Structure 1
Amino acid sequence: MTNTPDMTDAPGGAGWGRWLARRLPVVGGLAAGGVLLLGVPAFAHVSVQPGTAPKGGYATVNFKVPNERDNASTVKLEVSLPTDHPLASVMPQPVPGWQIEVTKAKLAKPVEMHGEKINEAPSKITWTADGKGVEPGQFQQFPVSVGQLPDNADQLVFKALQTYDNKEVVRWIEPAKPGGPEPENPAPVLTLTAADGAGAPAKSGTQDAQDTKDAKDTAADAGAVSGSDTTARVLAVIGIAVGIAGVAFGVLAGRRRSA
């Protein structure tokens, strides 16, 4: 039989006090468990930020690397660049405390960039810490300017290897399947969007004529306003002059009467 406080006893009375005393340890345990669950850090992985860029242009992206270990620091990041859509221009931004190496590879099929054929392109970027690296509870961003982005693809996949100072290597190389759950170690993905300005409606000849007419009307209105403003200023000056003359005449007349 469950012991419950005497409902005839007022809250705060002896019956309620004994009932709460017996159940406080249980309530406290549940509360502590809730705090522990809320305190578990969210799962994070190596990613590309921002996650989108326009097709056919250049973009600066950041490879964001969080440290997911409590007892080790990230000391190396290796990012493999896509080979199905090679990037002819890859320029990492210097990051204090890190050495950067860009590895190039010969292309199976030359690509054309700015009217020139390119037979090799960057295939991998390696960042190696020459200090403490990314310590527990921290993250680091590695900026890279990349281009020219392809205009015939919807995404670029960058497989990454994250190395800790305890020799552990986490391989962020698993591709995500459309409609499927996120892999345990997903590869960073840059989604390519329609080029800037694409899809903007073109103006018709009628619209251009209307725009020209509106511009002329605006100019005419501005001229009319300017002319009205000038007339108002002239009248104001004349009024001030007349006022001054009237005051002077009144002062002179008063003196004559006094004399």
Structure 2
Amino acid sequence: MSESATSAQPVQSASKASKVSKLSRLSLIGGVAAGSVLLLAGPAFAHVSVQPEAAPKGGFATINLKVPNERDDASTVKLELTLPTDHPLASVMAQPVPGWKVSVTKSKLPKPIEMEGEKITEAPSKITWTAEDKGIEAGQFQQFPLSVGQLPKDADQLVFKALQTYDDKEVVRWIEPTKEGAPEPENPAPMLKLTAAEGDGHGASGAAADDDKGGDRTRPAAAEASTGDTTARLLGGIGIGVGVIGIGFGVFAGRRKSA
């Protein structure tokens, strides 16, 4: 073999090793990207939340409590929702949910409030849903619709506190307030943001407006949930796709290296 051919061989080997190294790095980056996207897609829907997230001040609204089951080996059989006491809601009505029994507890107000020209001395303080059958099983969620009002005009949000009980007696306490500019707590309390009043402040908002028109009261919240779930699926699909590409690069790199 000539001297020139002998000297070219190490250069080719170094070039081949460089390509393998680059492919390996791409494989690693692809796998990390897939894991990151999937992690971002999951936790956003893993806690008890209020949907829609906002309603106009001074009006009435229909909201849904969205409750996912976070356990693989237990079912959610009870939800206890404590209503805010700093801004009491004089009118709270629960829509019947098949398979669940609901009870509303009222408490005396320390200071009467006025609604539609009438003084209110007591208001709902707690709502409890109890499963009559299997409850919310693994991999499922349930929505609990409420009609609430009159929403306060002097607040920017309403914070609810929820206790989620599983059939193995575990209780998850969704009671931690979320502070603006701070990381979300581990067990955030469900929250309804209050926006600027619409019209004269007496109109219904969200699903409640559809009720007045003979529409489906749960449609807006269901649409919100559908949008969120679609986003999660899309992000998950992107993550899986990136992961598959990364694995493909890894296999290709391995073959090139063994060749």
Corresponding position of 2:128 = 126
Give the number of aligned pairs. 187
Corresponding position of 1:182 = 184
Partners in 1 of 2:25 and 2:60 — Cα distance? 59
The alpha carbon displacement at 1:122 in A equals: 0.2
2:55 pairs with one of 26, 32, 53: 53
Q: Deviations over 1:110-146 (max 9, x none)?
A: 1112222111100001111111111111111100000
Corresponding position of 2:160 = 158
Asked whether 1:42 is paired with 2:66, we answer no
Corresponding position of 2:117 = 115
Corresponding position of 2:66 = 64
Q: How does 1:167-178 map to 2 (within 5 A)?
A: 167-178=169-180
Q: What secondary structure does 1:86 align onto?
A: coil
The alpha carbon displacement at 1:42 in A equals: 1.3
Partners in 2 of 1:112 and 1:82 — Cα distance? 17
Q: What secondary structure does 2:62 align onto?
A: strand
Q: What secondary structure does 1:61 align onto?
A: strand
Is the deviation greater in 149-158 or in 39-48? 39-48
The alpha carbon displacement at 1:31 in A equals: 7.4
Q: Deviations over 1:70-124 (max 9, x none)?
A: 1111111111001111111000101011100000001101111222211110000
1:196 pairs with one of 195, 198, 204: 198
Distance 1:36 1:121, change over 3 A: same
Distance 1:29 1:71, change over 3 A: farther
Name the amino acid aligned to 1:140.
Q
Partners in 2 of 1:143 and 1:80 — Cα distance? 15
TM-score w.r.t. length of structure 2: 0.63
Partners in 2 of 1:25 and 1:97 — Cα distance? 53
Which of 1 and 2 has greater Rg?
1
Gaps of 5+ in 2: 1-8, 201-259
Q: Deviations over 1:182-234 (max 9, x none)?
A: 11111111111111138xxxxxxxxxxxxxxxxxxxxxxxxxxxxxxxxxxxx
Distance 1:165 1:7, change over 3 A: farther
Name the amino acid aligned to 1:176.
T
Higher RCO (Cα < 8 Å, 6 or more apart):
2
Q: What secondary structure does 1:190 align onto?
A: strand
Q: What secondary structure does 2:184 align onto?
A: coil
Corresponding position of 2:137 = 135
Corresponding position of 1:144 = 146
Name the amino acid aligned to 1:136.
A
Q: What secondary structure does 2:84 align onto?
A: coil
Partners in 1 of 2:179 and 2:109 — Cα distance? 27
Partners in 2 of 1:162 and 1:69 — Cα distance? 12
Name the amino acid aligned to 2:116.
H
Partners in 2 of 1:143 and 1:34 — Cα distance? 37
Name the amino acid aligned to 2:110.
A
Percent of aligned pairs with the same residue?
Answer: 67
Partners in 2 of 1:155 and 1:27 — Cα distance? 46
| Aligned alpha-carbon RMSD (Å) | 2.9
Corresponding position of 2:247 = none
Corresponding position of 2:91 = 89
Name the amino acid aligned to 2:76.
T
Name the amino acid aligned to 1:183.
P
1:77 pairs with one of 76, 79, 87: 79
Gaps of 5+ in 1: 10-14, 199-259
